[in-house]
A = this chain, B = another copy of it.
């Protein structure tokens, strides 16, 4: 059961890497460092992070000592915003049986199940900020690599 694409996985892990390493003094973190630390293909990661830069999550700076950094406070960036950029705005419009053009009034046989599941995922993503995750990672010493 895969709910996120690899691109999203990489993007989220990279952001979590950044927020969990804040305060070490660096302003920009290079994509080379992230791809190496997290063992993610450099070029693929680059493309993914470009989307987040275009999506106003990150700012980037070229040249020596350049890299990427959060554009806004980590407290203000909810996971849902990241996911919507990487997966598309319609991420939560998809359906369990792949049907279309339906709502609570015109449900398919699994709508009641799907509604709850999708609701929980959406709620989780809406209420979790990068700051919360960063704190959690450091406090519990959680891993970002296999």
Are B9 and A108 within 8 A (Cβ)? Answer: no
A144 / chain B contacts, CB cutoff of 8 Å: 97, 99, 108-109
User: Does A18 count as interface, using CB distance less than 8 angstroms?
Assistant: no
Find residues 64-112 in chain A having any chain B CB closer than 8 Å to their own CB: 87, 91-92, 94, 96-102, 106-111
Question: What chain B residues lie within 8 Å of A21 (beta carbons)?
Answer: none
A residues with CB within 8 A of B:
1-4, 6, 9, 12-13, 16, 87, 91-92, 94, 96-102, 106-111, 113, 116-118, 120-121, 124, 128, 133, 136-137, 140, 142-146
What 3 A-B pairs are tightest by C-beta distance, nearest first? A9-B98, A100-B146, A109-B142
Q: For A118, list chain B residues within 8 Å (CB).
A: 1
What are 24 A-B contacts with C-beta separation under 8 Å?
Answer: A1-B3, A1-B94, A1-B121, A2-B2, A2-B94, A3-B96, A3-B117, A4-B97, A4-B98, A12-B97, A12-B110, A97-B144, A99-B143, A107-B140, A108-B142, A108-B143, A108-B144, A109-B133, A109-B136, A109-B142, A111-B142, A113-B128, A117-B120, A120-B120
In the complex, chain B residues whose CB is within 8 Å of the CB of A113: 124, 128
Please tell me if the beta carbons of B143 and A106 are within 8 angstroms of each other in the complex.
yes
Alpha-carbon separation in the docked complex, A146 to B101 (Å)? 7
Bound-state CA distance A13–B97 (Å) is: 7
The interface residues of chain B lying within 8 Å CB-to-CB of A99 are 143-146
